[in-house]
Structure 1
Amino acid sequence: MAHVLVIGASQGIGLETVRAALAAGHRVRAFARSAHRIALSDPNLERFSGDALNGSDVAAALDGVDAVVQALGVPVRDLLGPVRLFSDATGLLVPAMEKAGVRRLVAVTGFGAGDSRDAISPLQRLPFRLVFGRAYDDKDAQEMRIRRSRLDWTLVRPGVLTGGRATGRYRVLDKPSSWRNGLIARADVAHFLVGQIEDASRIGKAVVLIERALPL
């Protein structure tokens, strides 16, 4: 079992990843500014309060871990202005991991980031850009920083996120010709992320995750 650092652990995919990693028997260091509020009880859980934009916090959180899951998110209200969280946090994380000798990085971005942008259907393209354009421009920069690194990385691009329990019926689309948008539960994304911690088969690759495809 691995010692895993989950960045962005207090809510959303990050919190689901903490749950799934603990259920799989991993030791988890849950990193977030509000880590002390994580309402889980497990002897393998360590709450680590820190800021993903603070280099000292990130360096300290990497001490002794085997792998990192980066699952950052921004509030909807912040989508209306400039977004820099993803690229700025990754700009700190990548060199800190390289310096610490922590090689495995599983990073959540999203469908529409990087080269998956070309797979957005014409009908979805305009509303996607209007709502998420600033965030996804920053996710593009995040992905580029990761790709240029010396890390053993995997980029995970979920579709439209939903609540509820994991179904296990999601699809892993690893070929550009198969990429399309769809719905997927956060808990299913977390299930996939945890599976990648010790799986080397998708190192250096980007995948799209969906359960049910959206109409074009």
Structure 2
Amino acid sequence: MKRILVIGASRGIGLEVTRQALERGFTVRAMARSADKIALDSERLEPVPGDATDPADLRPALEGVDAVILALGVPKNLDFITKPVALFSTATQALLPLMSAAGVRRLLAVTGFGAGESSERLSLAERLPFRAVMGRAYDDKTRQEELIKASDLDWTIVRPGILTNGPHTGRYKVLTEKADWRNGIISRADVADFLLNALEADSHVGAAPVLVR
């Protein structure tokens, strides 16, 4: 597997995936609205400015890729706290049929601890502040997960805990059993490490593990 499409590649986990994938020898098609500002220098980097919710932008970005890593983050402003959020589900709804049509079967998508059934593992002390701050975004991440699980793709959903800008350590826990799911911290760089490991090993297909340090 040599060429991947990273959606949300200009910052956060997507940028870390792009950086580490280039180090591992991948060709990376890096899609983001500000893709032309990605400060990485490699002949195997293909910046693709585009809107992740627009099929007209997604369709050509999928041409010739072997897999997709979907790593959209919440907006930098705080609108997601007070306004409806639909970015994650809208982008996913646009992407899935285009992947099927293009014959691209492997999808790794980042949501977060608190999305889907992992919300049941939030402690009582976590639940109220989490809902107040992240509730709208994570309701949409839950819709995103439902769309992915209903697809016929070879999907992996990745649910990191609280994200930090810490270093790439390679030392973190991959919690696959619901009884073990818990919140915790993990660096964006280590989430990227897991995504690329799962892609290279073709592991965790049809699974939605929680990642914490």
TM-score normalised to the size of structure 2?
0.97
Q: Helix, strand or coil: the match of 2:10?
A: coil
Counterpart pick for 2:119 among 99, 110, 117: 117
Q: Which amino acid aligns with 1:124?
A: E
Deviates most, 26-35 or 76-85: 76-85
**Once the two structures are superposed, what CA deviation does each residue of 1:89-131 show, in whole Å capped at 9, x if it has no partner?**
0000001101100000000000000010001011100000000
Partner of 2:167: 165
Deviation at 1:73, TM superposition (A): 1.1
Q: Helix, strand or coil: the match of 2:139?
A: helix
Partner of 1:209: 211
Give me the whole-angstrom Cα distance separating, in 2, the residues matched to 1:98 and 1:196.
20
Q: CA RMSD in A?
A: 0.8
Partner of 1:78: 79
Give me the whole-angstrom Cα distance separating, in 1, the residues matched to 2:85 and 2:120.
21
Q: Which amino acid aligns with 1:128?
A: F
Q: Which amino acid aligns with 1:154?
A: T
Partner of 1:39: 39
**Once the two structures are superposed, what CA deviation does each residue of 1:130-174 show, in whole Å capped at 9, x if it has no partner?**
000000100010000000001000000000000121111111001
Give me the whole-angstrom Cα distance separating, in 2, the residues matched to 1:147 and 1:67.
17
Partner of 1:147: 149
Partner of 2:28: 28
Q: Which amino acid aligns with 1:8?
A: G
Q: Does residue 100 of structure 2 align to residue 103 of structure 1?
A: no
Partner of 2:17: 17
Partner of 2:49: 49
Give me the whole-angstrom Cα distance separating, in 2, the residues matched to 1:118 and 1:49.
37
Give me the whole-angstrom Cα distance separating, in 2, the residues matched to 1:165 and 1:83.
30
What percentage of aligned pairs have identical amino acids? 58
Deviation at 1:201, TM superposition (A): 2.6
Give me the whole-angstrom Cα distance separating, in 2, the residues matched to 1:125 and 1:49.
37
Number of aligned residues = 211
TM-score normalised to the size of structure 1?
0.96
